[in-house]
Structure formats: structure tokens, C-alpha cells
Amino acid sequence: MQYFPGDWVEVGRQQAETWLATGQAERPDMPDMQYLLGVGVVALGQPEKAQKILPGLEVVEADEPALLFEKTLIWNPKAKFQTDFIADGFGLLDTWEVAIPIVSYKKLARDIGTQEERDETERVIRDLRVPFYSPDVLFLRDCRNSQELLRVWDKEGGDTRLALLRALYQVKPLILALPVHWLG
């Protein structure tokens, strides 16, 4: 039987895995990363793991979060992340300056960090009854607000989760809070 590009074929799992491994087939639910232009990953450690998980994307290792691409994913590969959503994350940056997953629907800013950190955060944001964002998975568009966010976040120091929250409230970028399930 002859197949053509774009054909859908019902096959067993072993046959499908063989075709995928040899490059004779591709999964339509997995975007081809080579067509995402101006995007890249800043891996906070373990760039080889990031490159293996995210083939087709440029991965740069860094010690600190940095905006190195028009659209940047800052990712700590030690953190869980649903890589199925990566193309969507970059796509959201057409509208938003920043897109970051919320860590928990049950845990709030008042439940993390030291008392001193919480007091400092409350001084900035006024109320700790808010969700907090993952400092390990951030989609950022290269713009003035995103650059300022990284600068203020670095300056804030301390617990990275609360420091990020303080920086977000000070800089006020156009942010999209991504659902918890983006973290896996």
C-alpha cells in the first residue's frame, strides 16, 4: 500500500513507534519546532536535557534568566513542564508580554517563604491572598516590560517565587496566568 504526505493511517503501536523513530512519520499533535521563528529556550541548567526534550529549538544555557530571543522560554529543566504546550506558549506572546503558569490553586503567596519575605511581599502587593507563579517556566516577549521584569526580579532577591510576584506587581507587564496543568 502506498501512503502520501498528510494521510492518516491506523496502525499498531509498535509500527507507529518504528515509523516515528525512523522519521517515516510524524505526530500531527506535536508541532514542528523548526517553523517557530524568533523563539528559543534559556535553560537554567541541564541544556542537554532541554535540547533532548525540545528538539528543533535553539537552547542556550544560562545561570540567570535572560531575554535572548524575540520570544523566550526561560525554563529550569529540573521543573515539570508540559512540553506539548510549548508552541501555544510562544503563540500567546503575540498578544501577551508574559505568560507564566500558576503553581497551585490551593496554595497562595501567604503560604510560602519566610515571614520576612511575606512581609516584604505584602508591603508591595498589599494582599497575600493571591496565587503565585512558577519561577521555573516563563514565556517572555522581548519588550521593555519583560526586560524590566527580569531586572526587578533579580534585584528583589530572596525566595524566587515571592520575588517574582513582587516584580510582577511593580513592573505590571501584560501577563497571562497559565493554568496549573501547564506544569504537569
Q: Which domain holds residue 143?
A: 38-183
Query: Is residue 85 in a domain?
Result: yes
Q: What CA–CA distance (Å, rounded) separates 159 from 148?
A: 19
pLDDT tens, residue by residue, 84-93:
899 899 999 9
pTM of the model: 0.82
Per-residue confidence (pLDDT) for residue 30, from 0 to 100: 58
Query: Is residue 53 in a domain?
Result: yes
Total count of domains within the chain = 1
- Residues contacting residue 17 through CB under 8 Å, at least 6 positions apart: none
Amino acid occupying residue 55: P
Q: What CA–CA distance (Å, rounded) separates 150 from 147?
A: 5
Query: Is residue 60 in a domain?
Result: yes
pLDDT tens, residue by residue, 12-34:
888 877 776 676 776 666 555 66
